[in-house]
Amino acid sequence: MSTIEVEHASRWYGNVVAVNDVTMDVGPGVTGLLGPNGAGKSTLLHMMSGFLEPSIGAVRVDRRPTWHDHDLYRTIGLVPERDAVYGYLTGWQLTLASARLHGLPDPEEAARRALATVELTDAQDRRIDTYSKGMRQRAKVAAALVHEPEVLLLDEPFNGMDPRQRLHMMDLVRTMGAEGRTVLFSSHILEEVERVAEHIQVIIAGRLAASGDFREIRRLMTDRPHVFTIRSSDDRRLATALIADRSTTGIEVGEDGLRVHAADFGRFTWLVPQVSRDLAVRVREVRPADESLESVFSYLVTP
């Protein structure tokens, strides 16, 4: 099982700092890389894959620096965001060329297997410049998977795919993570990351803003208001008692229960059982309503 280590790594282009003093570890499983456009996600992926040298700091895979280690590249697969593929090649030719460059003992069989994995066998003899964007993405994934890498780096891999192709690729990514491979993928579609990734790394303005399970990250944001949905045997009575406490800033009463805005997470979680006991109100459900990845990302990128 392979591990990616980034240690105080920075990368700049002249006066522009793309990645600024980032330290992170990415282990086996699926990790989502999030950040606004221009945050430095692609630069970070290119340093991990060995295409870019860190200006300072270190980027390692299996404790070996990725820059100029050609043997190490046999364990890494990269799917770049940009279409940098010769259009006159067929899907078969692209994947076969990748297999031969990796020195595989049976490149033809490896290419067939990779194309079947991404469901591109039927179109493998067509020129890539006749492919749709989603098909070009799948061709790039096939070329990156042909040598069965332990580390797979995907930069916006689901771009241009139709819903069926996207679901298939999500399943493929989840399967590779379950097999013990280290998969890191960037995406600007939060729903994709929430459905596929076990952990997240959030890059904002070139810096690492958050790392880990996004639900745990949300719970640690004690300086941000929290929103809860509460269902009880007497919602209105419970709401009257809760709104009187300084830990709550607002309560909405609806048919499905209460929607409570809590300014003090710690006090509020202590308050609910105390109030319900004193009032003899049975609480049936207390559920966080803002622990989605979208909420976490919004809180992180909003000053």
Here the CATH number for the domain that contains residue 29 is: 3.40.50.300
The pLDDT value recorded for residue 109 is 98
Closest alpha carbon to 31 in 136, 185, 195, 181: 185
Specify the amino acid at residue 171.
D
- Identify whether the C-beta of residue 26 lies closer than 8 Å to the C-beta of residue 179: no
pLDDT in tens, the chain (303 residues): 789 999 999 999 998 999 999 999 999 999 999 888 888 999 999 999 999 999 999 999 999 999 999 999 999 999 998 877 888 999 999 999 999 999 999 999 999 999 999 999 999 999 999 999 889 999 999 999 999 999 999 998 888 888 888 889 999 999 999 999 999 999 877 777 888 988 989 888 899 988 888 777 766 566 667 888 999 999 999 999 999 999 999 999 998 899 999 888 788 889 999 999 999 999 999 987 766 666 666 766 665
The model's pTM: 0.76
19 & 148 share domain: yes
The verdict on 114 and 239 lying in the same domain is no
Position 195 scores a pLDDT of 84
- Of the residues 168, 192, 212, the one at which a domain ends: 212
Residues 254-267: tens digit of each pLDDT:
988 999 998 887 88
Domain harbouring 280, CATH code: 3.30.70
Task: For residue range 119-156, list pLDDT tens digits in order.
Answer: 999 999 999 999 998 899 999 999 999 999 999 999 98
pLDDT for 144 equals 95
In a shared domain, residues 31 and 65 = yes
pLDDT value of position 300: 67
Are 228 and 259 contained in the same domain? yes
Tell me: do 226 and 241 sit in the same domain. yes
Is the CB of residue 217 less than 8 Å from the CB of residue 296?
yes
- Domain total in the chain: 2
pLDDT at 147: 96
Rounded Cα gap, residues 44 and 34, in angstroms: 12
Mark whether 204 and 225 lie in a shared domain. no
Strands (DSSP E) contained in the chain are 4-13, 16-26, 29-34, 56-61, 64-65, 76-79, 151-155, 182-186, 199-204, 207-212, 226-232, 248-254, 257-262, 283-288
Q: Which amino acid is at 123?
A: A
Same domain? For 103 and 152 the reply is yes
The answer on 238 and 192 residing in a single domain is no
Are 85 and 66 in contact by the 8 Å Cβ rule? The answer is no
- Are 194 and 60 found together in one domain? yes
- Average pLDDT in the chain: 90
Are 201 and 173 part of one and the same domain? yes
Q: What is the largest CA-CA distance in the chain?
A: 75
Q: What's the pLDDT score for residue 121?
A: 96
Locate 76 and state its tokens.
Answer: 């890494």
Which residue, among 207, 198, 192, 199, has the nearest Cα to 300 in the 3D structure? Answer: 207
Query: What's the domain range around 65?
Result: 4-212
- Residues 29 and 159 both lie in one domain: yes
**Claim to verify: residue 208 and residue 228 sit in the same structural domain:** no
Q: Which among 194, 212, 230 is the end of a domain?
A: 212
Which of residues 162, 186, 212 is at a domain's end?
212
